[in-house]
Amino acid sequence: MTKKHVLVIGGTGMLAGVSTWLVHEGYHVSIIGRCPIKHQHVKEKVSDPESITSIAVDYTNLSELKLQVEKTLKDNGPISTLISWSHSLDSLQTIVGILSNQQKPLELLHVKASRKYFQDDVLDIPANCQSKSVYLGFVLEGDHSRWLNHSEICNGIIESLQKQTHSSIIGVVKPYSRRPSSFTT
């Protein structure tokens, strides 16, 4: 039986826990991240490091990104799920464009900052793609607020992968004026 193939943009940093969870769930995971050392750290956290394809590339280098995504498709088969934590809409659109050519349906889980909840970018979604948005909010704790930690983010993304919803929020996004960067006591 062939493993399902997942591509994670940002899978060595904030989404490292999602990448390792996917491997433990039996997926082959291709990870795009800039730092080879972080790729190695993720591989060290799983029992089957061969289930991870490291793509050490800066996602803003679109020509190299395209080559590496095409290579992982050739080496590991079609991608069933794309999880993206990318600040570059151009890089995500490039990858989605490549994946629109595959026959297999694609699930896109687009992880976005809380401000995108109020003013979102438009992504051209192909017919073979089901798109979900996950907005990263913040946590209110009495008179204080804080940003989500990596564990909360990863748990929320895993929950979003398991649900059949169009969008979800991890933490809260309202009242936006209470987010950590603007709220003081």
* pLDDT, tens digit (0-9, with 9 covering 90-100), for 150-168: 999 999 999 999 987 889 9
Q: What is the mean pLDDT of residues 20-27?
A: 96
Count, in order, helices (H) and strands (E) of the chain: 5, 9
Question: Do the Cβ atoms of 97 and 21 come closer than 8 Å?
Answer: no
Instruction: Return d(Cα 179, Cα 183) in angstroms, integer.
Output: 6
- pLDDT at res. 29: 98
Instruction: Return d(Cα 23, Cα 99) in angstroms, integer.
Output: 21
Query: Token digits for 91?
Result: 């890089």
Count the neighbouring beta carbons within 10 Å of the beta carbon of residue 146: 14
Question: Do the Cβ atoms of 110 and 133 come closer than 8 Å?
Answer: yes
Residue 20 has pLDDT above 50, yes or no: yes
Q: Which helix (H) or strand (E) holds 88?
A: none
- pLDDT at res. 147: 94
Closest to 28 (Cα-Cα) out of 66, 54, 9: 54
Q: How confident is the model at residue 183 (pLDDT cuts 50, 70, 90)?
A: low
Q: How confident is the model at residue 113 (pLDDT cuts 50, 70, 90)?
A: confident
Tell the residue number behind the tokens 């060595």, with chain if given.
12
